[in-house]
């Protein structure tokens, strides 16, 4: 019988987490062990200088909490500093394109690097292992090397999209990064090549020896700040000193009698609750999975939640988010009536262009005792910056702030940007029934929503739910993956919807999930990432 399970976007990470479970570690130990390996084997999707959110459930200890570690803008930031640089907003709402790319590439793109502090806090408070005990697997992958997987190489070689540069510019644009990811003769490492990063291995060894404090207050911190000062970066020692995670009780909602525990703003959980509240007013099962009417109704809920997010959701420490309204069943019922009347919601975009790529990863862990861990962590967007000798790439999360002052997502010193990160646990009869989460930028909540509906409404296993064809509506256009039937596309077009079919069969977030039914675990890892589910 399976006693515990790990689902992660990288086989190496899933196996590392399973090894920890097998050795007697708890779900937090396993989740952090997997995440540390992710930082070594998928270093543009996440890193110790990144950001994220995790949810931890340890019912035997009376613990159910979330740790938020969204990156915060440096204290040197000013609200108007990029106001005159705007070219346009991305069509999917994932950031702004500015002259000189200052918000997305290079030293000014970096927010406070809070991931390592969150890992350390989670282990100290809720785990049974230390960072030092869990780092060896990641150190070994960094020093001895790991295979470049197709998903990694695909991201590196993604062509330019709608004004943004090719990702290869991030990977090879600056000398310290080029030394790690480039071939001696030019170009980036390819599928099946071995990625070796001895500088990262040495940095992780320093952390194992001296603790996370070395990264935020000690020798590593001093190297970080010196590099920033020498290259026009905004981070200072004061920014590093304030990188601890924020603990919150989960944000709760309900859907057809099930409990939904997710994260608070500036994360995307509020969007999930709003969409589920709207969809509770419809008989989705009777419509049929991915039928034209199902796609229409769910897409309209996505559009309504996206428009509300754009206008009303930001860092609650800086912006008054109307949570009572956005999570209200009454508000949702009114939105459902709009959908029944066949109104088409509008998602405003500033001089819009096209969809952007994703720079995030996920890990889920559950065990037979009802303990659960789900974490989405990311670089937001890789900045391309690697401090010489340290080996890790910094986040580029400044890219998603709104450069227009006076808005929910506007720049401010010490402010976190909104992200759709929404690690979630679904409860049935008071016990965890489904643990899930996803990378995928603005598509994260849309992917999580569909996997939840696949399990709850259509009785799918976690693997079936993750692998089913998805669609998304983060603008006025309904985007469909290539496995959505063309008959459904024709019907939607006939109703006057702009529809965009994409070439990928697996897209619109990369969801990972574990389901528990009568004490039996089953898991799904999104096929697009080459991930893995491992049971122990």
Query: Among all residues, which ones are annotated catalytic?
Result: 360
Smallest CA-to-CA distance from 422 within 457, 378, 461, 454 is with 378
Q: Yes or no: say if 525 and 461 are a contact pair by the CB < 8 Å rule.
A: no
How would you classify the pairing of strands 258-262 and 251-255?
A: antiparallel
| Rounded Cα–Cα distance for residues 334 and 41 (Å) | 46
CB 438 within 8 A of CB 468: no
* DSSP letter for each residue of 410-436: B--TTPBPP-----EEEEETTEEEEEE
Q: Judge contact between 267 and 376, C-beta under 8 A.
A: no
The answer to whether residues 378 and 47 touch, using CB atoms and an 8 Å cutoff, is no
Separation in Å, CA 256 to CA 157, 425, 513: 43, 15, 20
For 181, the enclosing helix (H) or strand (E) is helix 175-181
154 contacts 530 by C-beta, under 8 angstroms: no
Full DSSP string of 365-402:
EEETTS-EEEEEEE-SSEEEEE-TTT-PEEE-GGGGSB
User: Rounded to whole angstroms, how far apart are CA atoms 80 and 453?
Assistant: 41
Q: What is the DSSP letter of 161?
A: B
Residue 514 C-beta-side C-alpha neighbours within 13 Å? 33
The answer to whether the beta carbons of residues 161 and 356 sit under 8 Å apart is: yes
- Please state, in angstroms and rounded to a whole number, the distance separating the CA atoms of residues 282 and 263: 25
Q: What is the DSSP letter of 452?
A: H
Q: Are the CB atoms for 434 and 513 separated by under 8 Å?
A: yes
**To 10 degrees, what angle do helices 269-279 and 292-312 make?**
140
Rounded Cα distance between 249 and 262, Å, is: 9
Query: Residue 59: in which H helix or E strand, if any?
Result: none
């Amino acid at each position: 019988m399976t006693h515990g399970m790990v689902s992660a976007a990288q086989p190496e990470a899933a196996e590392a987490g399973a090894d920890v479970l097998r050795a007697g570690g708890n779900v937090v130990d396993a989740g952090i062990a997997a995440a540390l390996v992710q930082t070594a084997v998928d270093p543009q999707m996440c890193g110790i200088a990144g950001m994220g959110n995790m949810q931890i459930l340890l019912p035997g200890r009376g613990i159910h909490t979330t740790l938020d570690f969204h990156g915060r803008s440096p204290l040197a930031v000013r609200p108007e500093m990029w106001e005159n640089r705007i070219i346009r907003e991305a069509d999917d709402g994932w950031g702004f394109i500015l002259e000189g790319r200052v918000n997305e590439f290079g030293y000014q793109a970096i927010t406070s690097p809070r991931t390592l502090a969150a890992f350390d806090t989670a282990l100290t408070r809720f785990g049974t292992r230390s960072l030092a005990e869990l780092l060896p697997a990641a150190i070994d992958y960094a020093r001895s090397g790991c295979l470049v997987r197709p998903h990694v190489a695909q991201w590196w070689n993604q062509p330019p999209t709608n004004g943004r540069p090719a990702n290869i510019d991030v990977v090879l644009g600056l000398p310290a990064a080029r030394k790690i990811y480039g071939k001696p003769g030019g170009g980036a490492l390819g599928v099946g090549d071995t990625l070796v990063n001895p500088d990262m291995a040495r940095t992780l060894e320093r952390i194992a020896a001296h603790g996370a404090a070395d990264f935020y207050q000690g020798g590593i911190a001093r190297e970080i700040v010196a590099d920033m000062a020498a290259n026009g970066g905004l981070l200072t020692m004061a920014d590093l000193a304030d990188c601890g995670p924020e603990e919150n009780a989960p944000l709760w909602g309900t859907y057809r009698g099930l409990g939904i525990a997710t994260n608070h703003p500036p994360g995307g959980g509020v969007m999930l609750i709003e969409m589920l509240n709207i969809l509770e007013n419809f008989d989705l099962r009777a419509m049929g999975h991915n039928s034209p009417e199902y796609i229409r109704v769910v897409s309209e809920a996505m559009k309504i939640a996206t428009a509300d997010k754009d206008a009303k959701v930001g860092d609650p420490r800086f912006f008054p988010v109307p949570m009572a309204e956005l999570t209200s069943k009454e508000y949702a019922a009114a939105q459902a009536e709009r959908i029944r009347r066949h109104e088409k919601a509008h998602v405003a975009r500033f001089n819009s262009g096209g969809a952007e790529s994703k720079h995030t990863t996920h890990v889920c862990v559950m065990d037979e005792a009802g303990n659960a861990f789900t974490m989405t962590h990311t670089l937001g967007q890789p900045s391309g910056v690697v401090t010489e000798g340290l080996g890790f790439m910094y986040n580029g999360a400044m890219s998603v702030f709104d450069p227009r002052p006076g808005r929910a997502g506007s720049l401010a010193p010490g402010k976190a940007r909104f992200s759709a990160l929404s690690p979630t646990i679904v409860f049935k009869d008071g016990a965890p029934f489904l643990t899930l989460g996803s990378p995928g930028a603005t598509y994260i909540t849309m992917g999580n929503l569909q996997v939840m509906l696949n399990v709850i409404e259509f009785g799918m296993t976690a693997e079936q739910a993750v692998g089913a064809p998805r669609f998304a509506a983060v603008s006025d256009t309904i985007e469909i993956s290539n496995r959505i039937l063309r008959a459904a596309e024709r019907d939607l077009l006939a109703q006057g919807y702009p529809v965009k079919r994409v070439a990928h069969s697996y897209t619109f977030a990369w969801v990972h999930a574990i389901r528990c039914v009568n004490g039996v675990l089953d898991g799904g890892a999104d096929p697009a990432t080459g991930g893995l589910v491992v049971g122990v």
